[in-house]
Amino acid sequence: MILTTAVLSAVALILFFVNRKENGKQVEGLKIGAKEMWQCLPLILGAFVLAGMIEVLIPGEFVRDWLSAEAGIKGIVLGTLGGLLLAMGPYAAFPIIASVLASGAGLGTVVALITSWSLLGLSKAPFESSFFGLKFFFYKSILSIPFCLAAGLIAQWIESLLR
């Protein structure tokens, strides 16, 4: 956690100086960041509470049978379905995904969940169908499903190698 924060801080510092050199809008960037954080804070805090409750409520048996590495393809299919239903932005979705991980879900399930949320998340449906038509949304979603399953399977294979 400390290393990640340090790396991110270094990236922030580099971007700050790049913006200073490129456009002089680095302070504006800080203001935008502060404003966005303030706007997202209630959502993030709410998501933390939701994630905390999920973590203590998911029954161990359910995790073992359906979400863990031992659950096999079941966990990946469930992860793909879960991502589809997770119709919310990253500030809300990521703490929930983290709680699923913390409860003991396998890498395959979590990767399928993130990939499916990214590609299939239902919150995108109104935008995609209104901008490009229902048919486009439908075909893009159909094209995305095998990618989510494949990503989950590869992650599961990686997890078996890491053990």
Partner 1 sequence: MKKSLIVIAVSVLVLVIVAMIIGGWNLILEGLETAWNTAIQSALMLVVSFIVIAQIQILLSRERMDSWLGKYSGVKGIAISAIAGGLIPGGPYVYYPFAKSFAEKGLPAYILIAFLFGKHLYDFSRLPMEISLIDPQIALIRNLITLPIPIIAGLLAEYLLKNRTKANLFSEGEV
Burial string for 42-79 (b: 16+ CB within 10 Å, else e) reads: eeeeebbeebeebbeebeeeebeebbbbebeeebbbbb
Closest approach of Cβ 162 to partner 1, in Å?
9
Instruction: Name the one residue in this structure whose structure tokens are 């096999």.
Output: 72
Residue 14 or residue 70: which is nearer to partner 1 going by CB? 14
CA nearest 102: which of 162, 60, 55, 44?
55
Residue 62 or residue 94: which is nearer to partner 1 going by CB? 94
Length of the chain: 163
Q: How far apart are CA 50 and CA 92, in angstroms?
A: 9
Count of chain residues binding partner 1 (CB under 8 A): 79
Site membership for partner 1, residue 19 (CB under 8 A): yes
Q: How far apart are CA 136 and CA 34, in angstroms?
A: 37
Q: Determine which residue in the list 75, 97, 122, 141 makes contact with partner 1, applying CB under 8 A.
A: 97
Residue 37 or residue 73: which is nearer to partner 1 going by CB? 37
Q: Determine which residue in the list 74, 81, 90, 122 makes contact with partner 1, applying CB under 8 A.
A: 90
Structure token pair of residue 113? 């969940």
Site membership for partner 1, residue 85 (CB under 8 A): no
Site membership for partner 1, residue 82 (CB under 8 A): no
Residue 73 or residue 143: which is nearer to partner 1 going by CB? 143
Which residues, 20 to 59, sit near partner 1 by CB under 8 A?
22-23, 25-26, 28-34, 36-37, 39-40, 42-57
Could you tell me if 100 and 65 are in contact, meaning their C-beta atoms sit under 8 angstroms apart? no
Which residues, 104 to 133, sit near partner 1 by CB under 8 A?
107, 110-111, 114-115, 118-119, 124, 127-128, 131-133
